[in-house]
Amino acid sequence: MDQMTYLNDLLARHEELFYHELSDCAGWKTEFIGIDYIQSKGIKGKTPAEIIEGCAKAITADGLAKSVAYAIAGNDILLCLDVAGCAHLPKEITLTKRGIKPYNCLIANMINDRLIEVLGFETAYVAHIHVDGGASRCRIQVAIYENPSKIGAVSDWAEEIRRLDATNGWKKVTA
């Protein structure tokens, strides 16, 4: 077993245990996993696009993913991420095989942390992860709330993603 397989297996077990934790509080704490790495990169920016692209460049430069494509949609509260060749994909596949719906994306955690800490966003969280092991990628839907007035905004996220796919509205970022 190589080192990355070992580490992904550890993370998968950790997330599985948190998933089954009875109070339903532990799973939310996993949103802090991965942020130490991105904080060490000193990502700066004045807009969400600058932050997301800065994070994606650091992530791909260090080989944590091959590429990160993104789009902001749905009244500016939906951050869509398409992460290809992620080092953590085996963790998501393992969880899925164990009957656990993946709920924690380290790449999204990193971007969320920078949106909150650098731009002062009110909150951000992973809403949905679609794992496509065959294509070696994940599509992640992240709720991002710049300020309290955005909380409660509604849009049809499935329709937003169909529109992004149809119009090639994704911005792909690599190192």
Separation between Cα atoms, residue 82 and residue 129, nearest integer Å: 10
pTM of the model: 0.91
What is the longest distance spanned by two Cα atoms in the chain?
49
Place of tokens 């398409």: 82
Q: What is the torsion angle, in degrees rounded to the nearest 10, for the CA atoms of residue 45, residue 47, residue 53 and residue 54?
A: 10
What does the DSSP 8-state code read for residue 155?
-
**CATH number attached to the domain at 3-173:** 3.30.1380
Q: Where are the domains of the chain?
A: 3-173
Tens digit of each residue's pLDDT (9 = 90 or more) over 30-59: 888 889 999 999 999 999 999 999 999 999
Q: pLDDT, tens digit, for every residue of 61-81?
A: 999 999 999 999 999 999 999
Mean pLDDT score of the chain = 92
Could you tell me which residue, 17 or 143, shows the higher pLDDT? 143
149 pLDDT more than 80: yes
pLDDT at 132 (0 to 100): 95
